[in-house]
């Protein structure tokens, strides 16, 4: 060990007697400081004009353009300049012969050289650490462990670069060639993860070898053992290769022996890398303050209930617009998106099934007129150069699973303990399911999911149609992430005039029937209510009389006509509602959003008698006067204003009571449009949150799964513009000058000696 230390010390002296080491430090310090203070300055200005600041630790250091992310992209440029002369300088000067003929072991030479460059690389981390120290005093409640995780990741990365550069320096006597060769190898390791991703077995090896993004998890605050092992194994591989290469000049070995030695080394490293990257053997350390890199408590509660193998099968229609996300060449990346779960469910198995069938991908058909589905699929296979074990035809896939209700989209099934549920792709920016949707799918397999049943038979709103007033978006749209079927609920319909309400119904919804309910329907609804089950009644002013038999039983009544108010911007029947002030959170928990919840054409709700329910108003008109009026008026006339008016009239109420040993929950609304497709899509509205809160309440807060995390506390810049400016001058101006002066002093002193 003493020999290694002496060699490392000598090599460090040599490095610092060269201007290259000082120039690299100066450039790195200027570059990192400029990026850091430029971002901090931008945040300070944003805070000054009132912009909301949140999670500053992550934004400043990681993310899309954080300090660590940016510097990671430049480190590979610096290392070849530092490593190019480690061994090639000795080869070029001839001193390598003296080293090889000396009693010093070759491994000591190599390890000493590596220790020297690894020690130098600590200076990079020290500079970033100093900037992190500045951030500690500049940002309230900086997440220190998060920053430390990023520093560890960057150091492991740069040491791996150094090991590669060390080996390349062993191969040539020309330092420039060694530097260029190092860049080539680093570029190859960045690119290799994209090679042969469609070839079984080989794709896992090339994916493991890729160094691209290896430090990303640590920069984002999650230390994963497989990434640490990767850096250690790859560094060890190139260090041992360096030892083997130098031994060639000392030991007389046959070519076959050398080939065998190199082959065994590579096989051992690849085998260890493959083993340590398996989910059951991976260890995770979430370094973030809010544990943002780990599943939330509610999700962890779900996975804790899963005891045994779980299988996720992805059905990929080559003609669907989202096909590219789960092609063979994307499978490793797709599998990694479930790593938050495989971390806790190592028995998770993922399988991919490829087929073709008619899709909603209108652009594909428009671009290939005259081709049928089979011809289109063949064209996709040829153009994508796909090597598929099996491509199922529509007839073949239908024998395995019926995907017609899923519109033949790319979709997954999740199977556990004999139960199966769908996990879908979505038509939004992210496409893939997030924690909220994955946890909901898993939870459906371990508990009985709540069942929403819509009454039909009297021209009610439909959950299968896309019209403005229908309910498909919020309940039955497979492509919409926040639709109830994607948040854990079952959704179905029943003709209550002819059929009994299913026993498993959790919530019965009667949405704006336009014809009178039959006596059979009324009897079924009354029986359902008497059983203590949950109900939702949605009325419209013109047709609310059809629900009189039900509202009488509940002790409620509707105003006969629509409520209207004066408005400078909207029609009179556009009511901007307010939350009732006295909502007891023990009865129902609502996120009282600041965004308005408009009711378009609503009846008011009155309590007619005591029917044994506790009535809790949820939404009401504001304090401005409101009048009853026929729908369709454009202005409020003087005659209408002479009539009696209402103030703070309830528009949506919750009814509760304890019956048959459980809590019965009922929602009654004077407006049925607020859950319609148009209103749920209205921008700047709080309607969707209100609807979500209602069904969370109905499901006893089991679905949708709450995946919110504790609020970040690093949300305030504690320095002003002048302090940032002065710090920027010090670090971009004075600090590099001090490095230059230090380097000049050492170089001049050496020359004098």
Q: What is the pLDDT of residue 395?
A: 96
Other CB atoms within 10 A of residue 630 CB: 12
Q: What is the pLDDT of residue 753?
A: 61
Of residues 149 and 20, more confidence is placed in 149
Check if the beta carbon of residue 87 is closer than 8 Å to that of residue 166. yes
Strand ranges for 240-365 from DSSP E: 284-286, 310-317, 348-355
Confidence of residue 663 (pLDDT cuts 50, 70, 90): very high
Check if the beta carbon of residue 184 is closer than 8 Å to that of residue 256. no
Q: What is the pLDDT of residue 521?
A: 94
Q: Are strands 614-620 and 598-600 parallel, antiparallel or unpaired?
A: unpaired
Gap between the Cα atoms of 62 and 143, Å rounded = 12
- Average pLDDT for residues 118-145, to the nearest whole number? 95
Q: pTM, whole model, 2 decimals?
A: 0.90
Check if the beta carbon of residue 161 is closer than 8 Å to that of residue 78. no
Gap between the Cα atoms of 115 and 110, Å rounded = 9
Percent of the residues in the chain that have a pLDDT greater than 70, as a whole number: 98
Gap between the Cα atoms of 331 and 412, Å rounded = 13
**602: number of CA atoms within 13 Å, CB side?**
30
Position of tokens 């009846």? 603
Q: What is the pLDDT of residue 302?
A: 96
Gap between the Cα atoms of 571 and 575, Å rounded = 9
Which range (308-322, 334-348, 630-644) has the least confidence? 630-644
Other CB atoms within 10 A of residue 500 CB: 12
Confidence of residue 249 (pLDDT cuts 50, 70, 90): low
Q: What is the pLDDT of residue 196?
A: 63
Residues 6+ apart with CB under 8 A from 185: 164, 168
Nearest to residue 7, comparing CAs of 98, 163, 112, 95?
A: 112
Position of tokens 């409640």? 141
Q: Are strands 598-600 and 574-576 parallel, antiparallel or unpaired?
A: antiparallel
Check if the beta carbon of residue 50 is closer than 8 Å to that of residue 148. no
Check if the beta carbon of residue 481 is closer than 8 Å to that of residue 437. yes
Residues 6+ apart with CB under 8 A from 276: 225, 226, 229, 230, 233, 282
Other CB atoms within 10 A of residue 605 CB: 27
- Average pLDDT for residues 112-123, to the nearest whole number? 95
Gap between the Cα atoms of 343 and 224, Å rounded = 10
Gap between the Cα atoms of 333 and 340, Å rounded = 13
Mean pLDDT taken over the chain: 91
Gap between the Cα atoms of 583 and 581, Å rounded = 6
Q: Are strands 284-286 and 562-564 parallel, antiparallel or unpaired?
A: unpaired
Give the model confidence (pLDDT) of 185-236 as tens digits: 988 888 887 766 666 666 777 777 888 888 999 999 999 999 999 999 999 9
Query: What's the Cα-to-Cα distance from 617 to each of 51, 295, 583, 734, rounded to whole Å?
Result: 35, 36, 7, 65
Confidence of residue 98 (pLDDT cuts 50, 70, 90): confident
Residue 418 has pLDDT above 70, yes or no: yes
Give the model confidence (pLDDT) of 534-559 as tens digits: 999 999 999 999 999 999 999 999 99
Q: What is the pLDDT of residue 103?
A: 77
Residue 252 has pLDDT above 70, yes or no: no
Q: What is the pLDDT of residue 97?
A: 73
Q: Is 598 helix (H, G, I), strand (E, B) or coil?
A: strand
Gap between the Cα atoms of 241 and 266, Å rounded = 9
Q: What is the pLDDT of residue 330?
A: 86
Q: Are strands 562-564 and 507-511 parallel, antiparallel or unpaired?
A: unpaired
Q: What is the pLDDT of residue 414?
A: 97
DSSP state of 512: -
Q: Is 421 helix (H, G, I), strand (E, B) or coil?
A: strand
Q: What is the pLDDT of residue 616?
A: 94
Q: What is the pLDDT of residue 199?
A: 64
Q: What is the pLDDT of residue 582?
A: 83
Q: What torsion do the CA atoms of 276, 279, 281, 282 make, to the nearest 10 degrees?
A: 80
Residue 669 has pLDDT above 80, yes or no: yes
Q: What is the pLDDT of residue 197?
A: 64
Partners of 669 in the β-ladder: 538, 652
Of residues 247 and 433, more confidence is placed in 433
Q: Are strands 507-511 and 451-456 parallel, antiparallel or unpaired?
A: parallel
Query: What's the Cα-to-Cα distance from 354 to each of 351, 384, 458, rounded to whole Å?
Result: 10, 14, 42
10 Å CB burial of residue 63 (0-12, 13-18, 19+) is middle
Helices and strands of the chain, counted as H and E runs: 28, 21
Check if the beta carbon of residue 316 is closer than 8 Å to that of residue 353. yes
Rg of the chain on CA atoms, in Å = 34
Gap between the Cα atoms of 505 and 454, Å rounded = 10
Residue 711 has pLDDT above 80, yes or no: yes
Percent of the residues in the chain that have a pLDDT greater than 90, as a whole number: 66
Confidence of residue 749 (pLDDT cuts 50, 70, 90): confident
Q: Could you give all domains of the chain from N- to C-terminal order, each with its CATH number?
A: 2-288+723-752 (no CATH), 297-424 (no CATH), 448-698 (3.40.50)
**According to the 3-state scheme, what is the secondary structure of 372-412?**
CHHHHHHHHHHHCCCCCCCEECHHHHHHHCCCCCCCCCCEE
Check if the beta carbon of residue 599 is closer than 8 Å to that of residue 619. yes
Residues 6+ apart with CB under 8 A from 76: 161, 183, 186
Query: What's the Cα-to-Cα distance from 219 to each of 65, 113, 579, rounded to whole Å?
Result: 12, 28, 43
Residue 413 has pLDDT above 90, yes or no: yes
Residue 250 has pLDDT above 70, yes or no: no
Query: What's the Cα-to-Cα distance from 143 to each of 268, 596, 599, 715, rounded to whole Å?
Result: 39, 35, 44, 11
Q: Are strands 419-424 and 411-416 parallel, antiparallel or unpaired?
A: antiparallel
Position of tokens 């096909």? 323
Gap between the Cα atoms of 699 and 704, Å rounded = 8
């Amino acid at each position: 060990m003493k020999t290694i230390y002496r060699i490392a010390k000598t090599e460090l002296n040599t490095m610092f007697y060269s201007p290259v080491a000082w120039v690299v430090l100066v450039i790195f310090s200027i570059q990192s400081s400029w990026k850091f203070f430029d971002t901090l300055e931008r945040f300070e200005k944003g805070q000054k004009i009132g912009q909301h600041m949140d999670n500053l630790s992550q934004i400043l250091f990681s993310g899309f353009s954080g300090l660590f992310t940016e510097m990671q992209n430049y480190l590979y440029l610096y290392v070849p300049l530092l490593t190019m002369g480690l061994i090639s300088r000795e080869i070029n000067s001839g001193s390598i012969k003296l080293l090889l003929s000396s009693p010093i072991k070759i491994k000591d030479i190599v390890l000493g050289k590596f220790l020297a460059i690894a020690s130098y690389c600590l200076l990079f981390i020290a500079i970033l650490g100093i900037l992190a120290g500045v951030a500690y005093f500049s940002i309230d409640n900086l997440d220190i462990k998060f920053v430390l995780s990023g520093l560890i990741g960057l150091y492991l990365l740069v040491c791996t670069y150094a090991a590669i550069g060390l080996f390349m320096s062993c191969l040539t006597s020309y330092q420039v060639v060694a530097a260029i060769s190092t860049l080539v190898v680093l570029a190859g390791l960045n690119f290799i993860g994209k090679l042969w991703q469609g070839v079984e077995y080989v794709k896992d090896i090339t994916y493991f070898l890729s160094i691209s993004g290896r430090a990303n998890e640590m920069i984002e605050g999650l230390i994963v053992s497989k990434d640490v092992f990767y850096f250690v194994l790859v560094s060890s591989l190139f260090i041992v290769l360096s030892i083997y290469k130098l031994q060639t000049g000392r030991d007389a070995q046959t070519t076959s022996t050398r080939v065998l030695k190199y082959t065994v080394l590579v096989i051992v490293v690849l085998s260890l890398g493959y083993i340590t990257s398996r989910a059951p053997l991976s260890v995770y350390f979430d370094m973030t303050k809010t544990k943002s890199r780990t599943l939330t408590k509610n999700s962890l509660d779900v996975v804790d209930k899963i005891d045994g193998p779980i299988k996720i099968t992805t059905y990929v229609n080559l003609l669907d617009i989202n096909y590219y996300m789960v092609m063979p060449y994307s499978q490793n990346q797709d599998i990694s998106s479930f790593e938050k779960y495989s971390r806790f469910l190592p028995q998770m198995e993922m399988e991919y099934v490829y087929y073709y069938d008619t899709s909603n991908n209108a652009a594909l058909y428009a671009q290939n007129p005259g081709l049928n589905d089979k011809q289109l699929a063949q064209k996709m296979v040829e153009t994508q150069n796909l090597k598929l074990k099996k491509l199922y035809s529509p007839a073949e896939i239908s024998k395995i699973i019926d995907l017609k209700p899923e519109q033949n989209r790319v979709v997954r099934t999740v199977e556990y303990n004999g139960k199966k549920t769908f996990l879908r792709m979505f038509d939004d920016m992210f496409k893939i399911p997030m924690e909220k949707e994955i946890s909901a799918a898993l939870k459906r397999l371990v508990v009985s999911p709540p069942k929403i049943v819509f009454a039909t038979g009297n021209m009610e709103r439909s959950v299968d149609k896309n019209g403005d007033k229908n309910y498909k978006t919020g309940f039955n749209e497979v492509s919409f992430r926040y639709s109830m079927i994607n948040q854990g609920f079952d959704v179905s319909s029943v003709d209550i005039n002819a059929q009994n309400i299913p026993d498993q119904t959790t919530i019965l919804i009667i949405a704006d029937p336009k014809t009178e309910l039959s006596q059979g329907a009324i009897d079924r609804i009354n029986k359902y209510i008497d059983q203590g089950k949950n109900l939702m009644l949605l009325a419209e002013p013109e047709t609310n009389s059809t629900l009189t038999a039900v509202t009488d039983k509940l002790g409620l009544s509707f105003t006969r006509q629509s409520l209207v108010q004066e408005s400078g911007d909207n029609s009179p029947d556009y009511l901007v509602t307010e939350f009732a002030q006295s909502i007891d959170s023990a009865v129902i928990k609502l996120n009282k959003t600041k965004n308005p919840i408009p009711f378009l054409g609503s009846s008011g709700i009155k309590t007619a008698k005591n029917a044994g329910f506790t009535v809790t108003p949820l939404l009401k008109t504001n304090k401005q006067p409101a009048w009853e009026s026929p729908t369709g008026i454009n202005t409020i006339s003087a005659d209408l204003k002479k009539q009696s008016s209402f103030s703070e009239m309830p528009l949506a109420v919750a009814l509760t009571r304890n019956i048959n040993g459980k809590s019965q929950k009922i929602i009654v609304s004077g407006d049925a449009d607020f859950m319609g497709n148009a209103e749920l899509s209205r921008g700047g509205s709080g309607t969707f949150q209100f609807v979500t809160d209602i069904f969370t309440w109905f499901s006893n807060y089991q679905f949708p799964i709450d995946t919110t995390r504790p609020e970040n506390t690093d949300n305030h810049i504690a320095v002003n513009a002048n302090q940032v400016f002065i710090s920027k001058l010090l670090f971009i101006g004075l600090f590099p000058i001090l490095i230059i002066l230090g380097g000049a002093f050492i170089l001049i002193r050496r020359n004098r000696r």
